[in-house]
Structure formats: C-alpha cells, structure tokens
Amino acid sequence: MKISIQPIRPDFAGEVFGADLRKPLSKEDVTAIEAGMDRYAVLVFRDQRLSDDEQIAFTTNFGAIENAQGGNITKDHEYRLKEGMIDVSNLDQSGKPFDRSDRRRMFNLGNRLWHSDSSYRAIPAKYSLLSARTVATLGGNTEFADMRAAYDALDADMRELVADLVCEHSLLYSRGAMGFTELTEAERMAFRPVYQRLVRTHPVTGRKSLFLSSHIGTIVGWLVPEARDLIRDLIEHATQRDFVYAHVWCQYDLVIWDNRQTMHRVRRFDESQPRDMRRTTVAGDMATAVQPDRPN
Ligand SMILES: [Fe+2]
C-alpha cells in the first residue's frame, strides 16, 4: 500500500487515500498514519468495510487496546459487541434502538457534550477509532475541535493562568451536567474523579494543547464555581467554529482522532433509526498528573 494524506483544513483533519485497512499494514504505512495523526490530529478513511476483528487488528498497530472497565453503566449481560469493541450505537443487545427512558441511552446522551475520550481515567486514551456501520438518517455528525489551535490562541495572561492547573475529571460531572444523576453506589465508586493537567504537551511534536473535557468538575485548589466559570469560558473559546471540523458520516467511514489534542461531540440525530457506530480505543501510556490519595 502507498498511502497519501490530503488536509481537510490547513492544519487540522486529513483524509487518507490508498489504504485498505482490512489488510495488514506495512511498517511504513503505520509510520505514515502516525505522522499524519501527529500533524492533523484527526484522520478520515472512506469506504473501509471492516469486521470487528479487522478493526481491532488495525487498532493494535498504534498501541494496546484500552481496558473499557469503568467507562459506562452497561451490565455484563447487556453487551452487544465483543470485548475490545466500544458500542457507541443507539442499539440494545437485540439490535433495536433503545427505549426513550433506557438508562444506557440517558448515559450516552453525555456524548453530546464536548469531551476527550477517557479523560476520566488516570491514564487517558491515546487514539479513538470510530467505524460507521450504519449511519444516522438525520443528524449525527461528529464534531472535532483542535485543542492545539485553542491553546495557541490564548493570550499571554491566560497561558500563565492555566500553565500549571490540574483538573478533576469524572463521568459523574459530565453525566451530572446532563441531569443524569441516578447512579448506584457501585457506579459512583467506579466513576471517582482523577486528576489531569489542563495544559499538556504532545510527546512527539512538543506542541502544547488544552486538555479540556466536559468530564471536568473542578480545578484542584479552586472553589467549584470559580473553576466551572473558567472551564466553561475555555471550552467556549476552544470550540469556536474556526477550530472545529464537523464530520458528516458516510457508511464505512473510519475516523481516528487523537484524544490528547482534540475534543469531540456527537450532534443530535433521529434516534428512532439505528445508528451503529463501533469504537476501538488505543490506551495512553502515561498519566498527566499525580493522582489523588485515596483508599482502593
Ligand atoms: Fe467520545
């Protein structure tokens, strides 16, 4: 394979040509895709008719698959997909769209808020790969915001203010922001907050970016309303249209994004129809901050 990448926006999001992701990739192809990710942070591959096993095999070119434990409220017997696959569809185990009041639907509505996948984990995710098996009939775009551009556009005072801040991230905060608070004690325990630096540096390019997410509930050492005021302000700044690429899905698109450099959200769609989207996640390899002391 000889792949090439065309920018979608000058420095953000690229489309990859010449790749068949069902086949094993050469070292050169993997290197070219990683270089494309470092540069564009989001890569789009069209017409990739992947099975789940092929998607998992492709994903492992970029690192270990992230352990999905503690990332949702789905019970063991409710899984539709095999281990390693994250189900971000609107479908139950029998393949039918969730009932309106289904807890899993309520929980997934949190994905409409801007976030970085797994920022609620002590070691946050590297890449997410999302494969469109059945696309929404109406709506359902995924929007990506460039957190490097957002950092670059901060003025000097704001850069100084945020430089060393550490935020608390938890699914309790993002779901709470949607008014979904009906969680069991076990779920609350699983979703205990972790700490993340607000400014992070990309390990390859050295570029700084804002590590924002709707999973943020407060800033360590700040009063909660002060913290939420600043975080809301930064998220508004970071998601202005100049920094956003909106992906309009076609069936069999595969999109990879770097959670270390971007935020994303899904837009409203017709939930009476199936929207079958399957994610795999590449685990990160380091924490961004020292974690809070607490008993296990
Ligand atoms: Fe997500």
217-245 residue pLDDT tens: 999 999 999 999 999 999 999 999 999 99
Distance 246 CA to ligand 1 centre (A): 14
What's the gap in Å between 128 CA and the centre of ligand 1?
8
- Joined together, the tokens standing for residue 34 give 């990683």
Ligand 1 centroid distance, CA of 265 (Å): 6
Q: Report the separation in Å between the CA atom of 130 and the middle of ligand 1, taken as the mean of its atom positions.
A: 9
Q: What is the pLDDT of residues 256-295, one digit of tens each?
A: 999 999 999 999 999 999 999 999 999 999 999 999 887 6
Instruction: Write out the residues surrounding ion ligand 1, Cβ under 5 A.
Output: 117
Give me ligand 1 centre to Cα 124, in Å: 12
Joined together, the tokens standing for residue 122 give 């002590």
Ligand 1: distance of its center to the CA of 259 in Å? 9
Going from the Cα of 220 to the center of ligand 1, the distance in angstroms, rounded, reads 24
Burial label for 89, CB within 10 Å (0-12, 13-18, 19+), is buried
pTM value > 0.95 = yes
Is residue 1 predicted with pLDDT exceeding 80?
A: no
CA of 112 to the centre of ligand 1 (A): 9
The Cα 7–Cα 14 span in angstroms is 4
State how far the Cα of 164 lies from the Cα of 172, in Å rounded to an integer.
24
Q: Kindly tell me if the per-residue pLDDT of 158 is higher than 80.
A: yes
Structure tokens at 215: 């999973």
